[in-house]
Amino acid sequence: MKTQKHSALYRCIERLHGERPWGALLDAGTGVKSIRWVESLSTTRWTAVTGAANHAAEVRNAIKSGQRPQDRIVLGNWVDAELLKGEVFDTVLADYLLGAVEGFAPYFQSYLFSRLRPLTRSALYVTGLEPYVPTDRPETRAGRIVWEIGRFRDACVLLTGDRPYREYPSPWVVDSLKRAGFAVRTVKHFTSRYKERFVNTQIDLCASALETLSDRALAKALKERGAALRAEAFDVISEEGALRACRNYVVAAEPV
């Protein structure tokens, strides 16, 4: 396994999985990072699901080792009861899927793990981000700037007619997994260290979205606000090395 090239969360999953075979693996909410990790594992086959055609193309282009005949990328939405109906996978990965569901199937989060339960034979790994936008103003400077960037990003997304991600806290995930028929084995947390790439990604996303806003005066004011947030974030990164603010988690579960 090429663990040195992958994130701490994926390395954590590898440690938790131990020597057990990965077998048939389902990447239930695939992305460029997750598919590169999945293809580094010794799976018998993998299936990667995404809800967007352009995202499927990005995932396909990200595969470095080459897609084997038994591997596949599936375009679909988990609200569709026919999606992968009757199939079972030894290992299931829900990599930041819970937050992303909001953009494809609002209010479906409460049913997601029940939907994945019959597909899971041995192990389910859930990664996510502890919510930081709908919280009180953080006390640290780094926490505050990440909080403000998140609120700015979500405001821009809503103003332009789209839906922002909706993250859920790990205790909610644990409770939901138990109700869906899983036994939770482990919950691990990791502190994020955001740098310039994170800041640019979040604010540039808003800049492109604001091009569609009909109120050009409001769009101009929001762009100026984004530029100010970018400058302040870069100052904090320069002084502190990174924006240490948010916590990501890995939850390992098994079907009961």
pLDDT tens across 145-194, in order? 999 999 999 999 999 888 888 899 999 999 999 999 999 999 999 998 99
In this predicted structure, the answer to whether residue 242 has a pLDDT above a threshold of 80 is yes
| 117/159 Cα distance (integer angstroms) | 36
Mean pLDDT is lowest, of 30-44, 114-128, 182-196, 200-214, for 200-214
State percent of the chain over pLDDT 70: 98
- What integer pLDDT is reported at residue 6 of this predicted model? 63
Of 88, 91, 55, 56, residue with least CA distance to 72 = 56
For the chain, domain boundaries: 1-131+167-193+245-256, 132-164+196-240
Classified as helix, coil or strand, 5 is helix
* CATH class assigned to 1-131+167-193+245-256: alpha beta
- In terms of Cα–Cα distance, which of 170, 173, 156, 177 is closest to 220? 156
Prediction pTM value: 0.90
Q: Which residues are within 8 A (CB) of 125 and not within 5 positions of it... i.e. 6 or more apart? A: 13, 16, 17, 91, 92, 93, 94, 95, 250, 251, 252, 253
Give the confidence band of 140 by pLDDT, cuts at 50, 70, 90: very high
Other C-beta atoms closer than 10 Å to the C-beta of 142 total: 21
